[in-house]
Amino acid sequence: MHNTKECPHAIFRVCRQRSCIHLVHLGSHDLFANLAVQPGQTSLITTPGTIVVYADSNTQMLNSSAVAVGSVFRFNGLVFDDNGTLRMDCAQIYDGVA
């Protein structure tokens, strides 16, 4: 379980009422891809290059433009491994790195 993570490149987005689910493609510099294949691991992350980000009315929207497919943003929150799928309970969304 990880405390926080920043992730760029939203590639899919579904919103209902006050909640959104973002399927995010991680940058090549991200540690999850490297950490997903450590020797001796009992469970593997099936897609270490993507993460499912859950944002709701408690998420602080600190970005200057709306989150859209193909845009670059930073998502900060609690990341956990759900049987091989990385998921994040998002606390803040920031503008992406230029």
Q: Look at the block and give the residue holding tokens 């670059």.
A: 72
Give the type of residue at 84: G
Q: pTM for the whole thing?
A: 0.78
pLDDT tens, position by position, 15-53: 787 788 888 888 777 888 777 777 777 777 888 888 999
pLDDT tens, position by position, 78-87: 999 898 899 9
For residue 91, is pLDDT > 60? yes
pLDDT at 38: 75
